[in-house]
Amino acid sequence: MNFLVIGNGGREHAIAWKLSQSDNVEKIYCAPGNGGTFLENKCRNVNLSEFKELADFAVENSVDYTFVGPEQPLVDGIVDYFNERKIKIIGPDKSAAMLEGSKSFAKDFMKKYGIRTAKYEVFEDMKLAEEYVKDLEHPIVIKSDGLEGGKGVLISNNVEESLEKIRKSEKVVIEEYLQGFEVSILSITDSETIVPFLSAKDHKQVFDGNKGPNTGGMGVVSPNPFFTSEQMKDFEENIMIPTLNGIKHESMYFCGIIFFGLMVTDKGCHLLEYNMRMGDPETQAVLPMMKNDFAEILIKAHEKKLSEVEMEWENGSNCVVVMVSDGYPGKYNTGVKLGIPSQIDGKIFISGAKYEKDELISSGGRVLGISSHSDELDDAIRKTYSIIDEVEFENSYFRMDIGR
């Protein structure tokens, strides 16, 4: 089979890498891909982005399945376009993608179908929002309604911070602040079944100790060491199953990924948000733990046979640490030459680098994801940081406390 993977980040490198391990996959086209997919087994980068040219390419090159990595083309309706042309594609249609594309739509969906979540209010009139937050006990959570690349959420500690966020927004969701720990759960659905993957713990803020501004993700461990089997059952009963009921009731017929962002409090699991695609860097930790043939799982989802799938996972833990350009998520330099060790006990996923003139050159803020697996979490962490010591990347930065 041939696959087309849309996207150019570390998530897409990990997806292409995992697909390449399937004996049933011959070629993987990555549009546009990056320096990592350029070097990956069975992969070929193609510089395409428009829906029509992607669909034409899929037809002309006998692509069996297309997998959409990032959220923007999903929200823009790429799955609907491919379906109209009878081209097989993995991902939510435009209506289902709104569960990520609009925070207010998602919260109203949660409320409608009894999915446990934080109390909230939605404001389109920013003057009313300003008056509302002045009377609230802080901290509170303020979310921009649309896509913000994982950076649209503010935990506001005082009225001044809240007003500043609101004045920069056009539509906001204002939520109660929940005290607990966060859990990421990737899953796949065929609209009739949801199959959850391993849990993960993301580290969003740029500095050690969870300080500084939010980023796209500075590192992750999987499974989440704090998440118990009892809490997993609570998630399934109060979040996952009601979500599936809502998908069925709203006739969201699609096959694709649902990423549940949870907050676990002393009152149980609460849903913070949906992402309708795989997380980055969670994907770089979860897929290396998957024993199943990922291509087969995607095909089962498309054929609406996910109920036949039994997931198998490696024992132990995986740790991913993201190396970023110094200054990220603010101003940073690109064009830095990277030196990647050839023999390591782990995997380096490329997020923001291109391959030109026989060299990897940085092209983004988040540049590398260093991924290692071991039977013990502490050893997986140690292995990941030992690989970082071998990487040549001038003016780089990474957190020292991932998983710790």
- Given the structure tokens 């609406």, which residue do they identify? 304
Question: In 326-390, where do the E strands start and end?
Answer: 337-339, 347-350, 353-356, 359-362, 366-374
Record the pTM. Answer: 0.95
pLDDT at position 148, please? 73
Q: Is residue 253 pLDDT above 90, yes or no?
A: no
Rounded Cα gap, residues 12 and 265, in angstroms: 32
Tens-digit pLDDT profile for residues 40-87: 999 999 999 999 999 999 999 999 999 999 999 999 999 999 999 999
Task: Find out whether 320 and 369 touch, Cβ atoms under 8 Å.
Answer: yes
Rounded Cα gap, residues 292 and 278, in angstroms: 17
Please, which pLDDT band fits residue 150 given cuts at 50, 70 and 90?
low
Q: Is residue 404 pLDDT above 80, yes or no?
A: yes
Cα–Cα distance list, 48 to 32, 44, 51, 367 (Å): 6, 12, 9, 21
Question: In 179-222, where do the E strands start and end?
Answer: 181-189, 194-202, 205-207, 211-214, 219-222
Classify 369 as helix, strand or coil. Answer: strand
The amino acid occupying position 21 is Q
In this prediction, residues 162-178 reach a mean pLDDT of 94
Q: Which contiguous run of DSSP H or E holds residue 7?
A: strand 2-7
Tens-digit pLDDT profile for residues 192-245: 999 999 999 999 999 999 999 889 999 999 999 999 999 999 999 999 999 999
Task: Find out whether 71 and 63 touch, Cβ atoms under 8 Å.
Answer: no
Neighbours of 128 (CB within 10 A): 12
pLDDT at position 141, please? 95
Q: Is residue 322 pLDDT above 80, yes or no?
A: yes
Domains with residue ranges and CATH for the chain: 2-93 (3.40.50.20), 120-176 (3.30.1490.20), 180-308 (3.30.470.20), 317-397 (3.90.600.10)
Q: Is residue 365 pLDDT above 80, yes or no?
A: yes
